[in-house]
Structure 1
Amino acid sequence: MITLSLLHPLHKTPVQSWSFEQEAVVRIGRSTDNNVVLYSAVVSRHHVEIYRTDPGWVVKSIGTNGTYLEGRRITEVPVEDGIVIRLARSGPNIQIHMTEEKRDPLKELLNRRRVEESQEIDQSTRHEPPANDKAALPHQTTIINH
């Protein structure tokens, strides 16, 4: 999951946040077709894309006024948890947090046991006799009338 927080311009504290779990690309800009819409004159209609890659997330600047990280203009950078990007030189600051789904070893063990138990039950209800086991075959009775 990725969470974006709009920071207060003076206090640098979050004033609004957006979280995304399923999206492969999160778009930020002034246009209403973005995932995060920011109404600021210095923010481009389509300003930033944050997209998922195999190793992690990447921030890509696509706006005309630029995107800044630690005072330097960027075009594309990997996301590190907690980074703050600025949209344009004097625009809003966005902090990015990434949270991975935490693994719960106990939950994984219980799920594995449930699967194994259901497989055992499924196998025990089949009762298919082995091919060469005559004792397992049903007895055939022949009735002879005299």
Structure 2
Amino acid sequence: MPYTNGIAPIVTVRGAGNLHHLSYGSDGGIVNCVGIMPAPVAANDTNTVTNFLLGFAYSFEGFAFYWDGAGSAFWRIAGSPFTEPVGTSWSAATGVPWGSQIILGLNVQSEVAKAANEDNEVIVYIIPKDLD
């Protein structure tokens, strides 16, 4: 199950682009947080693979993400061979409600509209090659 015992979704992308991440629905009144993490590759690179570990905080009840690159993007739960495509916009994002065993396609545009931008903050982590 995502977000229990340190298990978080991993997103694997190919090429250049940005992984967008949203934390929302705080049970403590904390403002929603949204931001991007660019893949650390050249703009014309279509082959380099980057793995992102999605960050989370116990203060939020929902998390969503999408990929805006031209290359492919798939998510999986750490340790699982099962993969699914990642959403491509906030209206068709990949979402993980807290405590859910299912990762869903969600429209989270209304949550993004209430979010503080944290593009310059760490919201996801790049996993070094062959660490997983």
**TM-score for the superposition, normalised by structure 2:** 0.34
Higher strand proportion: 2
**TM-score for the superposition, normalised by structure 1:** 0.32
Higher helix proportion: 1
Larger Rg: 1
